[in-house]
Amino acid sequence: MAKTSYDVPAIRKGIRVIELLCDSQAPLGVTEIAQKLGLNTNMVFRLLRTLQDEGWIVEHDNGPKYVMSLKPFHHTAKLVKKMDIVVASMNPLRELWEKTGETTYLGVLDVDRILCVEQLEGTGDIRVGGMPGRRSLMHCSAPGKAILAHTKGSLVDRLAKEGLKKMTKNTICSKAALKKELSKVAGKGYALDKEEYMDGLLCLGVPIFDHESKVAGAAGLSVFKLYYTLEELIEKLGPLLVETGRKISHALGHPGDE
């Protein structure tokens, strides 16, 4: 007997259009979208009109090109606000930011990436890029490694099988080396990104645990090597970030050392 398929191709294509428009830095027209996605222009036009009628996209002022509206954010923001970890992190994360003036953020596991759900920008002249909604590689980011070090299962093996992308000359690109690094992270209680994701950028990450002592996410802090050495980052800001992670975990019901 033939296997029944429940796939809806039109919805799948509509999602691809939405993702493309979200990622694009400029408005896109029907032909551009069709070419980038390998779709029929008539299909793309119908998808765009449907999305426009529903208020998900709007036509750009300079002609028949389209950009995303804020309606998707209106709906997805509700989901983020419902997350216990976001509520629990609001005050501790802001306290950390006020003490350091550096970029602080909260990330959660999103399939095979670290998803930033909250970020407070640094107050210096040079600031770290990024924003809530950004998905980052796990093997070369401090929050990603903080989560990986406490995640049971085959996630590390799966990431290694897919390939540990080399971002800089310092990026860990072998499974053996990554597992060794994660063992150190679990022992120290914090993770480091030593210019592994971006040249000149140093990051710290600490795991956040829930009431069942399962890793629920990670708090992170990023600075430029221009202003901090790795030793200064660990000694001056490390204890503050560790305490922030402890406070958030405690708010989630994690017993800690009590």
Domain 83-251, what architecture? Answer: 2-Layer Sandwich (3.30)
**What pLDDT score was predicted for residue 212?**
87
**What pLDDT score was predicted for residue 76?**
72
Render pLDDT for 163-180 as a digit per residue (tens, 0 to 9).
999 999 999 999 999 999
**What pLDDT score was predicted for residue 140?**
96
Q: What is the pTM of this model?
A: 0.73
Q: Determine the topology of domain 9-73 in CATH.
A: Arc Repressor Mutant, subunit A (1.10.10)
Positions of the chain with pLDDT under 70: 1-4, 62-63, 77-83, 125-131, 257-258
Q: Phi/psi at 148 (nearest 5 deg)?
A: -60, -35
Residues present in the chain in total = 258
102 burial type by CB count under 10 A (0-12 exposed, 13-18 middle, 19+ buried) = buried
**What pLDDT score was predicted for residue 258?**
45
**What pLDDT score was predicted for residue 64?**
82
Render pLDDT for 42-100 as a digit per residue (tens, 0 to 9).
999 999 999 999 999 998 876 689 999 888 877 776 665 556 888 899 999 999 999 99
> Where are the chain's structural domains?
9-73, 83-251
Same fold, 9-73 and 83-251: no
The type of residue at 111 is: V
**What pLDDT score was predicted for residue 1?**
45
Cα 22 off chain centre by:
15
